[in-house]
Chain A
């Protein structure tokens, strides 16, 4: 039997969750899984590439990975972890699409966190192993909150190094780093890049946070937001 055409009506009509289920079942139907992979890729590559391109002058530069490599690796990791994807409440095509893209974003974010500590074997990616769908369907995007807007303004007042250190720190925060600090390997990598010491990287981070607090205070706000 010929393998299903990625553009066949059955794949066109399939939800992302269905495609990922087929991908997860590749042991039983390798051809079907490959077609589903191609279909999922076609649906989301432009979004993911566009979102990753936004970081090419910031995080990608610091971490040292190209946008194309990150896109490809994200999709391959997504296929590897297709079995971990959790369906949402289907019926709303916009939310279904956004859910998949949010999940891909988590994988890419965690890949960046893994890469930030320096070159390593592909298999050793502990942050990617942590990717889950927990909280993926939060109603209000926190990035649109007034507080996030104010902090975004405050970030403009930082130097390039301070901003870089906070970006990498925030990357790890988003990747699920429990202690809100830079892992030693990442501090060392940043220190090498900036020709300074790990201690100075930590000092830079503290200074950056202090500057942000001062900025918020000058606007009559504090870092603590009512929960």
Chain B
């Protein structure tokens, strides 16, 4: 244990007890375990190798050979080289391991109704399908940390100006403009794209629109296949990681029935991250023993944003493949539009009372900001394009607004009552 040489309360010192030295070491060890610090001993390296740390895909162009020493000036801030989007469609195209969501829903329905056969032809309607993903757009775990994605959106104008006194009408920002492919407000949507399990009401056909967005990835409960006995479920974890990042694990089936179903992975991701691949592993609970895998790139487009993606985890050994189960992956919106911040909620409630917003509802959010930044009036989480429309609609009407990822939001937001109609 390292001795604490600092005088308590001395210059630059934190006044910590010796106990912190031991805890600090354990924190560092825990971060290595999570892949958030690099292994620095032989044993840690061997453990990381067993965990599959080695990069398996193609190296980026800058690393295919030993290049010149990187420049020390003009250092980039939090942005890796952009990846190219791999041309892999999620729904039943290039990858045989990607199962269609109809398949996921059928299996889930069969399990819930106690049917033994997975070959059933039961087809769910859109309403039941939406229920299976159990999307709750306005409840967020307080323990899910936010992460700004590489090259992601940045905040615009700051808030906290004195709110106007007159009522301000803000037009609808979620109506379908331009060419749309999916969502309940999209007249051109067909079939299962007419109602999105994700709750989105209008999705552009233009995949480029999604490139500007950040998302939270939600991984649903595992629906076991025949190859997996039902009593094995309590002993299994589903672990996920994106673009070779740190693994995040949770029970294969959620153990509580309140709150959101499935797991929201830490941080936010971009389309480029998803093109780098999502990996799922089914592991013996609390261990790194892998019993099944799935890995694929996810191309973000209207289909995936509407209905999510399905993954079929399998155990492949000696050339044979045994399906173990399937689960749904949802890309949830991650952007917030903040209208104002204040030290307490009263001025924010007053501001809310003066806004007539056609199709969005601001909420109160507690933040980790100091003093007069502690509470925020915000709309979200929403996709980047809606956030930008709302931001400009507010700015055009003299209301400060900025788009954020909610990195310092904490706890569940609080809904506000609708304002009384103007006389």
Q: Interface on A for B, CB 8 Å cutoff?
A: 37-38, 41, 45-47, 49-62, 64-69, 71-73, 75-76, 88, 94-95, 97-99, 101-102, 105-106, 108-109, 115, 119-122, 135-145, 147-149, 151-152, 154-161, 163, 166-167, 169-171, 173-174, 178-181, 184, 194, 196, 200, 202, 205-206, 209, 212-213, 216, 222-225, 227
Contact = CB atoms under 8 A, between A and B. Distances in A.
B259 to A, nearest CB: 15
Instruction: List 10 tightest A-B contacts by C-beta distance, closest first.
Output: A50-B55, A54-B35, A141-B43, A223-B23, A160-B145, A105-B38, A122-B72, A152-B30, A151-B30, A143-B32
Given A51-B39, A68-B80, A173-B25, A180 B2 contact: yes
A108 B165 CA distance: 55
Nearest to A194: B408
Contacts of A141: 32, 39, 41, 43-44, 46-47
Contacts of A145: 29
Interface stretch (B10-18, B169-177, B324-332, B414-422): B10-18
B20 A223 contact: yes
B6 A109 contact: no
Nearest to B67: A72
B246 interface: yes
Contacts of A159: 145, 368, 408, 410
Contacts of A55: 35-38, 245-246
A119 B73 contact: yes
Interface string B53-78: 11110011011011111101101111
B29 A137 contact: no
A94 B46 contact: yes
B223 to A, nearest CB: 25
Interface residues of B, number: 83
Contacts of B70: 69, 72-73
* Interface SS majority for chain A: helix
Given A47-B53, A119-B72, 10 more contacts: A57-B267, A58-B147, A59-B36, A66-B80, A95-B42, A101-B45, A135-B41, A170-B27, A212-B27, A225-B22
A60 B37 CA distance: 10
A56 B150 contact: yes
B26 A225 contact: yes
B372 interface: no
Nearest to A135: B41
Nearest to B77: A64
Contacts of A147: 26, 29
B148 A209 contact: no
Contacts of A66: 76, 79-81
B25 A54 contact: no
Given A50-B53, A152-B34, A68 B40 contact: no
Interface centre among B30, B42, B48 (most CB of A within 10 A): B42
Contacts of A144: 33, 43, 47
Contact of B244 (A53, A64, A137): A53
A50 B40 contact: no
B243 interface: yes
A155 B63 contact: no
Contacts of A169: 24, 27
User: Quick one: which of A57, A58, A148, A212 has the most chain B CB within 10 A?
Assistant: A57
